[in-house]
Amino acid sequence: MATLTEQTLAAARDGLATGDFSAVELTRAHIAAVEAARPLNAFITETPEKALAMAAESDKRRQAGEAGLLEGIPLAVKDLFCTEGVLTTAGSHILDGFEPPYESTVTANLWRAGAVMLGKANMDEFAMGSSNMTSFYGAVESPWRRRGDNRPLVPGGSSGGSAAVVAARCALAAIGTDTGGSIRQPASFCGIVGLKPTYGRCSRWGTVAFASSLDQAGPLTRTVRDAALMLRAMAGHDAKDSTSVNRPVPDYEAALTGDIRGLKVGIPTEYRVDGMAAEIDTLWQQGIDWLRQAGAEPVEISLPHTRYALPTYYIVAPAEASSNLARYDGVRFGLRVPGDNLSEMYEATRGEGFGAEVQRRVLIGTYVLSAGYYDAYYNKARRVRTLIANDFARAFENVDVVLTPTAPSAAFAVGEKMDDPIAMYLNDVFTVPASLAGLPAISVPAGLSGDGLPLGLQLIGRAFDEETVLKVAGVLEEGASFTAEPAFIAGRG
């Protein structure tokens, strides 16, 4: 059955269309892969019965001539998306037992397109983390290993479970969310493609909120084409999210022409940060060469406020989080820890229900929003955010896309960096600026580190120009011809 799970989403779509296999057969193979991959701890909830029922319905629709864009395709869903009647935890103890009575818009769009849900993927608690180690449900192990070293590695985060299952061939694709790099960094660590669309491209309705001005859903896939297929099904205007944008959803796959002749690719000087591994710099230069060979023109650009992006993010995101997480109070859903009065019940519930990193961010957020500090921290950060967005706007007057590394290093070992929050935050140094500016960005697997771990390159585009981002990503993918495989692939002996 391995051939069914090791193909791309696009190949599975074609195989289903020509009747080589049914959605039920494809789903059965993936359910077996999900079971085989349990040692990775990549799922919080597996939904095999639901998957088989959805697959059977899918086969019926296809027979009736009503196949959708993702008809019969088995997917994993980050456990941040509310799924009707299926446990949704956000990786937190505080959402114990929460079964949403509604479906998030993005997942509803996927099911309407015919996709099948395999389960809910593990993640950093409330999407706060870059390692998947903050999950109440335990760390996820990457399917990758360093050459000659069997120590478990992190898959990255916060969409760590989503990235691990796609890399380990347990799902044809997964969805995640990206607030400061939570799709792109795990994609880079796991050797797969991760796309964060423009803010507003996908509805946030029914997705557990972390930082509402930054959160955006997107796909994690094994190829650029698969990301294009997924985004088309996920995106679209939603009256229930006032920040979702009402503009047509293009056929992203049609943008993958491979023709980037004459396109200008910005190379930002400020992304050559101190202490960046030489192999990352070398890979970046290779990426520039691949695009040049395909007829694009690399252009040195300046994004002068880049170094202020991370500190800005670590004011804006915790501020919004502290406000969003106020709703977890033991009254309407999830965990309740008793107290003698209402206030004590709130404090006991939140003190026990939130993990250390979430508490740290709620405290930071509360502090920067508190009387006397609001202007000095929060408003200051919002002003710097404007400067960062202006940097990109100016750059995009002269270039069509920006090429950078995705992360400053390859994956690290489980347990590392947990004692120093700032060292962990630095993982997002290259992904956070595009998040603050709301721009679409993709990570493409481009090469291996000296010890055999995947490294990604990032492309950032103009707002709502995912088509150019995907087109250039396709060329990058071809140039890199990344064929390395993780140590663990589900379903192989």
**How many Cβ atoms from other residues are within 10 Å of residue 169's Cβ?**
26
| Consecutive H or E run containing 266 | strand 264-268
CB of 381 to other proteins, least distance (A): 7
Show contacts with other proteins in window 234-273 (CB under 8 A).
239, 242-243, 245-246
Which ranges of 354-460 does DSSP label H, i.e. alpha helix?
A: 356-369, 380-395, 421-425, 432-436
CB 92 within 8 A of CB 59: no
> Which residue of 370, 394, 415, 451 would you call a contact of other proteins, by CB under 8 A?
370
Looking at the Cβ atoms of 95 and 228, the one nearer to other proteins is 95
| Consecutive H or E run containing 442 | strand 441-448
| Residue 484 interacting with other proteins (CB under 8 A) | no
Show contacts with other proteins in window 274-333 (CB under 8 A).
305, 307-308, 311-312, 314-315, 322, 326, 329-333
The residues assigned a catalytic role are: 78, 158, 182
| CA distance linking residue 159 with residue 428, whole number of Å | 13
Instruction: Kindly determine how many residues on this chain lie close enough to bind other proteins according to the rule CB under 8 A.
Output: 73
> Which residue of 38, 383, 394, 492 would you call a contact of other proteins, by CB under 8 A?
383
HSE of 151 in the Cβ direction (CA atoms, 13 Å)? Answer: 12
The radius of gyration of the chain's CA atoms, rounded to the nearest angstrom, is: 21
Looking at the Cβ atoms of 52 and 367, the one nearer to other proteins is 367
| Residue 44 interacting with other proteins (CB under 8 A) | no
| Residue 448 interacting with other proteins (CB under 8 A) | no
> Which residue of 360, 416, 452, 485 would you call a contact of other proteins, by CB under 8 A?
360
Looking at the Cβ atoms of 13 and 184, the one nearer to other proteins is 184
Looking at the Cβ atoms of 34 and 310, the one nearer to other proteins is 310
Show contacts with other proteins in window 176-235 (CB under 8 A).
198-200, 213
Helices 466-480 & 278-293 angle (0-180, nearest 10): 110
> Which residue of 39, 351, 415, 450 would you call a contact of other proteins, by CB under 8 A?
351
> Which residue of 228, 265, 364, 472 would you call a contact of other proteins, by CB under 8 A?
364
Strand order in the sheet with 401-405: 43-46, 116-121, 74-78, 173-178, 216-221, 193-196, 441-448, 454-461, 401-405, 264-268, 297-301
| Residue 381 interacting with other proteins (CB under 8 A) | yes
Which ranges of 37-168 does DSSP label H, i.e. alpha helix?
A: 48-63, 105-112, 160-167
CB of 112 to other proteins, least distance (A): 19
> Which residue of 49, 274, 300, 340 would you call a contact of other proteins, by CB under 8 A?
340
Looking at the Cβ atoms of 264 and 367, the one nearer to other proteins is 367
Q: Mask 101-120, x = binds other proteins (CB under 8 A)?
A: xx------------------
Beta bridge partners of 217: 177
| CA distance linking residue 72 with residue 16, whole number of Å | 7
In the three-class reduction of DSSP (H, G, I as helix; E, B as strand; rest coil), residue 173 is classed as strand
Provide the phi-psi class of 277: left if phi over 0, else alpha when psi is between -120 and 50, else beta: beta
| CA distance linking residue 415 with residue 321, whole number of Å | 25
> Which residue of 367, 413, 452, 485 would you call a contact of other proteins, by CB under 8 A?
367
> Which residue of 99, 259, 289, 478 would you call a contact of other proteins, by CB under 8 A?
99
| Residue 45 interacting with other proteins (CB under 8 A) | no
What is the separation of C-alpha 120 from the centre of its chain, rounded to a whole number of angstroms? 14
Looking at the Cβ atoms of 289 and 420, the one nearer to other proteins is 420
| Residue 444 interacting with other proteins (CB under 8 A) | no
Show contacts with other proteins in window 407-436 (CB under 8 A).
421-422, 436
DSSP secondary-structure letter at 300? Answer: E
Looking at the Cβ atoms of 283 and 442, the one nearer to other proteins is 442
| Residue 461 interacting with other proteins (CB under 8 A) | no
> Which residue of 150, 341, 481, 483 would you call a contact of other proteins, by CB under 8 A?
341
CB 409 within 8 A of CB 277: yes
